Amino acid sequence: MKGLSFTRRINYALEAAADAFLTCIGFAQIQAYSSPAPLSEEQIVDRMQMHDRAQMEMLGSYQALRHYAITYRSTFKTLTARMDVEVRYDASSGKILRIVSESGSHTLRERVLQRAVDSEKEASLNRGATALTNANYKFHLFGRETVTGRPAYILDVEPITPSKSLCRGRIWVDGIDFAVAGMEVQPGKNLSFWISSTVIHHINADIGGFWLPQQHWSETKVCIGGTAVMTIDYGTYQIVPQQMRPMVSELR
């Protein structure tokens, strides 16, 4: 490592930061129904998975224009980059992401933002590998609180097997729809020698009856003294349901 140039070290650090950002993007996109309370963690997780399946069956298509931004700051330099990405999802054909504009540091665009887009394309083909299920995670009910005027359950999550593609930390589950409303997590396994810490905040929102990503914020501290912060604004969704939402009684 001592023989590496400063530029090369920066590139290694940014690649490691990119891996951190890619973890947990699009982690939970679920939906649907009313909630008796209190519930056990097993019941909460079961209803999360039920409404995940329900949303996949009901969501026909959507499109949105996302806004990605990243800033890397160190003692020696500050780099920034932006990227606008058109996202189209169709239940029959899957997800398509197309870059419509980009600006700023070529290094950040290529090594972080472009990789984030490519990684989401790949992850959309195998959602089961990172989904919040008993096959991937252990769950512990931490408590309950009110989030934006709605009841929510707080669950601690831990990967069954340490993995860079999974997360550990805390999630907030809406107590009415059983959607993952928010999360504060870290990668489930140390991503790189170059990374000292990573914190990921993610917010989902009920948009036209479907819970979809709304905001993402990630901060990664790298060992050479810099900090990289990436944000995603998921934009305004245009949603087409595949069918009418099932009655509450049908989902219980």
Domains detected in the chain: 6-241 (2.50.20)
User: Which has more pLDDT, 160 or 23?
Assistant: 160
pLDDT for the residue 59: 92
Q: Report the candidate in 98, 102, 92 with the shortest Cα–Cα distance to residue 121.
A: 98
Separation between Cα atoms, residue 188 and residue 220, nearest integer Å: 14
Both tokens of residue 143? Answer: 């408590």
* Strand runs labelled E in 160-194: 167-174, 180-187
Both tokens of residue 50? Answer: 């039920």
Separation between Cα atoms, residue 89 and residue 140, nearest integer Å: 33
pLDDT tens track for 75-121: 888 999 999 999 999 988 889 999 999 999 999 999 889 988 988 88
Mean pLDDT of 131-144: 93
pLDDT for the residue 147: 85
User: Which has more pLDDT, 194 or 175?
Assistant: 175
Helix, strand, coil percentages, rounded to 5, for the chain: 25, 45, 30
Residue 214 DSSP SS3: strand
Residue 32 DSSP SS3: coil
pLDDT tens track for 193-245: 556 678 899 999 999 899 999 999 988 887 767 888 999 999 999 999 975 44
**What contacts 229, CB < 8 A, 6 or more positions away?**
70, 71, 217, 218, 219, 220
